[in-house]
């Protein structure tokens, strides 16, 4: 079974530039997550999708971050414009979820390798 | 607001000995706990979990203990092997809540 795929693996940009990350979850997984992991900290959830609908984006800085999951499969996360403090690893994860709605309990999440973003 | 805390950033242990990783949480609504393991340049991988209705869960060399009254859990790895050298994250979620709150991680180094 193929795992969660992410690209690019590394990205270096200057502040105020734009950047986009791509994620392909495990086939059949209904739920997709984007996390931000700043050096020395644990992953922090940015946004969760159930199929192609947003379940939780309460910690997404919506003035500069956006995400979409077209057709309930692949997802992209965009930052525009980037700030120095956005330097982090961006992790995508997926889980099976429950049919008919958001999971009532955190089911096992499978993570991709992440994209390391450096903003200069 | 850090609801899950791993106060030891690193742990060094000799091969064959026991590794004990600790995790504390502050949110009394948390009732499901997980440990993830992360190698460099890879994403975290699920290791073991425990529900609040239990106080112990074992899977091979890995055992997680939960002390609800102290809001504390620990992961025991015995015997420790060189391949166990990684960063270990503690995570927690609450009833009817899919969201995982992660600790900052503990880096384990197993010495030969």
| Better-predicted residue by pLDDT, B89 or A72 | B89
Chain B partners within 8 Å of A112 (Cβ): 43
Question: What pLDDT, on a 0 to 100 scale, did the predictor assign at position B64?
Answer: 98
When scoring A42, A45, A93, A103 by the number of chain B Cβ atoms within 10 A, the one with the most, hence best to mutate, is A42
Long-range Cβ pairs for the range A20-23 (8 Å, 24+): A20/A76, A20/A77, A20/A78, A20/A79, A21/A76, A21/A77, A21/A78, A21/A90, A21/A92, A21/A115, A21/A117, A22/A74, A22/A75, A22/A76, A23/A74, A23/A75, A23/A76, A23/A77, A23/A92, A23/A112
Of A106, A110, A113, the CB nearest to B99: A106
pLDDT digits (tens, 9 = 90+) for B61-104: 999 999 999 999 999 999 999 999 999 999 998 876 678 899 99
Question: What is the pLDDT at residue B97?
Answer: 66
What is chain A's Cα-based Rg? 14
> pLDDT (tens digit, 9 = 90+) per residue, A20-43?
999 999 998 989 999 999 999 999
> What is the DSSP code (8-state) at residue A109?
P
Lowest mean pLDDT among A61-65, A99-103, B50-54: A99-103
Say whether pLDDT at A102 is over 50: no
Picking from A22, A52, A17, A26, the residue whose alpha carbon sits closest to that of residue A34 is A22
């Amino acid at each position: 079974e193929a795992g969660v795929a992410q690209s690019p693996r590394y990205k270096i940009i200057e502040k105020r530039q734009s950047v986009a990350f791509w994620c392909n979850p495990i086939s059949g997984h209904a739920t997709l997550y984007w996390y931000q992991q700043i050096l020395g900290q644990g992953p922090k959830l940015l946004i969760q999708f159930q199929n192609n609908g947003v379940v939780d984006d309460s910690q997404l800085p919506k003035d500069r971050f956006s995400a979409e999951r077209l057709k309930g499969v692949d997802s992209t996360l965009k930052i525009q414009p980037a700030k120095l403090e956005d330097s982090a690893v961006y992790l995508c994860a997926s889980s099976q979820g429950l049919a008919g709605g958001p999971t009532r309990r955190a089911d096992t999440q499978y993570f991709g390798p992440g994209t390391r973003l450096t903003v200069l | 607001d850090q609801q899950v805390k791993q106060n030891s950033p690193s742990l060094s242990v000799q091969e064959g000995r026991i590794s004990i990783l600790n995790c504390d949480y502050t949110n009394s609504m948390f009732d499901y706990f997980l440990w993830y393991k992360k190698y460099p340049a890879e994403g975290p991988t699920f290791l073991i979990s425990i529900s609040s209705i239990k106080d112990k869960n074992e899977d091979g060399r890995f055992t997680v203990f939960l002390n609800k009254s102290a809001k504390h859990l620990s992961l025991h790895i015995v015997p420790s092997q060189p391949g166990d050298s990684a960063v270990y994250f503690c995570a927690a979620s609450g009833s009817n809540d899919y969201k995982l709150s992660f600790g900052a991680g503990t880096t384990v180094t197993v010495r030969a």
